[in-house]
Amino acid sequence: MNPEPIFRVENLQIAYPLSSSGEPQWAVDGVSFTLSPGETLGLVGESGCGKSTIGRGAMRLLPEGSQVRGEIQFRGESVFDLEGDRLRKFRGEAVALIFQDPMTRLDPLMTIGDHCIETLKAHRPRLSFKQAKAKALETLEAVNIPQNRWSQYPHEFSGGMRQRVAIALALLLDPKLIVADEPTTSLDVTISAQILEELMRLCRERELALLLISHDLAMVGEYCDRIAVMNGGKIVETGKTRNVLRQPQHPYTKSLLNAALHVQTLDDEPIAHDDPAPQRSPILHVRNLQQHYTLERNFLERLFSQSEDLTIKAVDGVTLELYQGEILGLVGESGCGKSTLSRTILQLVKPTGGTVEFLGRDLTQLSPKALRQQRRQMQMVFQDPHACLNPMMTVGDSLADPLLVHRLAQPSQAKTQVLEMLERVGLTPVKEFARRYPRELSGGQQQRVAIARALMTHPQLVVCDEPVSMLDANIQAQVLELMLRLKDEFDLTYLFITHDLWVARFLCDRIAVMNAGQIVEIGRTREIFSNPQHPYTQRLLSSAPLLVRA
């Protein structure tokens, strides 16, 4: 006998505020489902289909002026009737939301410890500081954040580490329902598996309900009891996860599954790719690159301890080569130094030691003016598109900007090229998207704009830091195919950073595996997957969730 549902959504309709008078455009249109204690439901679908809107609606976090019809109930009580203290207690103590983008949810002026203490004290004021800190450290440890990072700030964490902080904050108050909106988007497979297994354990032991919003079918298939597939604001198919993934009934579900299986190709040969011709000179040569940071101790720690400041070796003696037309994948755990390595290669941060030769020139020795001239040939697609797109500029202006800055086109020519690029990354109708601002786009749409912007100057080297991590299976496959076409058309070279091993297998000629600031294994993609040598590489591969064809 199934327990009584703790969470109920009935015929829910949500429309965001209209910029002008007219009929509401329903982002969520007639959605119904229930969740019982200890049950996990995976909500999947394309970016912009309404998944995140349901999560925000459940927490009463929709923008003012949004139109809502239907009902959301928690333990038989309407969420829409909650006000004041009851609503505040509901958020966090009853239902916790893990956001997709942790950087926009963390206060840059507060340490990680301060975030935890503030959350606990706001809901449990009788806790002493010592009790609150003990609870916080225990929760942070559960998501693999060590105690020595208690006094650090969000900007000192990698994207994956910030995501772990967001998950810890959601778990602090022991909620009964967790709404997790892409909770492991920026996490590597090993940490993702640990986090999800921890969430599943908590759900079982404490009878927590979990609504897992994700574009990752393999992850949902491995961890969720039931699945609901969304398209165009509606749930088009729902049922037990195993049944839906093995025998999908709706055409859209079939297309999602086929796209995910296409990326997780299981042939002997990966999709890419011709030999990068190592007899040619490398376009990029990194030698013994180092990026070290010092964590300075505060006054009291210096007074009572004789130990020295802690040095973090984010990049510790990395050497690699990259050839024209090659795609080199860089994989490893969150915090292992992948993103720091990419930023150091591009000289966005100056290295502690080592050299970076690009097109025969040592970038570490260039003047700021000469380095700016080289930037046209080196572009980067960042992990967080929301943070790298100017909120005051339209999409069209953002894409035209690099063309105008580098004097590659007149304004009329730039406009034409912008519309062409929007078409190529699947943002149609192009004129409408060109007029939009980043805040008017879904996370996946923002990521596509960031990719388009990086490619506008037709660079020789593109450093891609998790460029498809926020995209659903259909769009992810399209963007990866797009990147392959552009590589062939413009003879591009990619350094592709990802925590998704199947994306790396699909796209990359060679793979470099990074751990604790060092490259522990590098080789041809087929060899890495078929015969990994390093124990860490073997652990990564064994942790990767895999869709199995029916």
Give me the domains of the chain, ranges plus CATH numbers. 7-263 (3.40.50.300), 383-458 (no CATH)
* DSSP letters spanning 112-167: HHHHHHHHHHHH-TTS-HHHHHHHHHHHHHHTT--GGGTT--GGGS-HHHHHHHHH
Nearest to 378 by CA among 350, 357, 400, 407: 357
pLDDT confidence band for 269 (50 / 70 / 90): very low
Q: Residue 416 and residue 22: Cα distance in Å, rounded? A: 31
- Give strand ranges (E) for 40-140: 40-45, 67-74, 77-78, 95-98
* Closest alpha carbon to 96 in 27, 208, 179: 179
Q: What is the pLDDT of residue 486?
A: 81
What pLDDT is attached to residue 266?
47
pLDDT band at 207 (very low <50, low <70, confident <90, very high): confident
CA 354 to chain centroid, in Å, comes to 30
Q: Is 362 helix (H, G, I), strand (E, B) or coil?
A: strand
What is the three-class DSSP state of 284?
strand
Q: What is the pTM of this model?
A: 0.72
- Specify whether the CB–CB gap between 27 and 53 falls below 8 A: yes
Q: Tell me which of 212-216, 325-329, 385-389 is least confident.
A: 385-389
Residue 120 has φ and ψ, to the nearest 5°, of -70, -45
Mean pLDDT of the chain: 86
Average pLDDT (206-216) is: 88
Residues in the chain: 550
Among 76-80, 97-101, 407-411, the minimum mean pLDDT is found in 97-101
Residue 311 CB neighbours (<10 A): 11
pLDDT of residue 307: 59
Sequence-distant (6+) residues with CB within 8 A of 401 are: 393, 453
Q: Is 428 exposed, middle or buried (0-12, 13-18, 19+ CB in 10 A)?
A: exposed
User: DSSP letters along 161-228, please?
Assistant: HHHHHHHHHHHTT--SEEEEESTTTTS-HHHHHHHHHHHHHHHHHHT-EEEEE-S-HHHHHHH-SEEE
Per mean pLDDT, which range of 145-149, 218-222, 266-270, 399-403 is the poorest? 266-270
From 116, 257, 321, select the one nearest 549 (Cα to Cα): 257
Percent of the chain with pLDDT over 70: 90
Give yes or no for a contact between 424 and 481, defined as CB atoms under 8 angstroms apart: no
What is the rounded end-to-end Cα distance, in angstroms, of the chain? Answer: 29
DSSP string, 438-494: GGGS-HHHHHHHHHHHHHTT--SEEEEESTTTTS-HHHHHHHHHHHHHHHHHHT-EE
Q: What is the pLDDT of residues 505-541, one digit of tens each?
A: 989 999 999 998 999 999 999 999 999 999 999 988 8
The mean per-residue pLDDT over the stretch 418-435 comes to 91
Average pLDDT over residues 139-151: 88
pLDDT score for 240: 95
Pair type for strands 40-45 and 209-213: parallel
Assigned token pair, 374? 């080289």
Residue closest to 165 by CA, chosen among 104, 115, 92 = 115
The residue-averaged pLDDT of 298-320 equals 73
Q: Over 80: is that where the pLDDT of 399 sits?
A: yes
Cα–Cα dist 134/116, whole Å: 10
Query: How far apart (Å, rounded) are the C-alpha atoms in residues 264 and 198?
Result: 25
Instruction: Count, in order, helices (H) and strands (E) of the chain.
Output: 21, 20
Which two tokens mark 509? 């000629």
Report whether pLDDT(52) > 60. Answer: yes
CA distances in angstroms from 380 to 9, 215, 341, 513, listed in the order given: 41, 24, 12, 20
Of 474, 415, 484, 488, give the one whose Cα is nearest residue 451.
Answer: 484
Task: Return the closest-CA partner of residue 48 out of 16, 72, 71.
Answer: 16
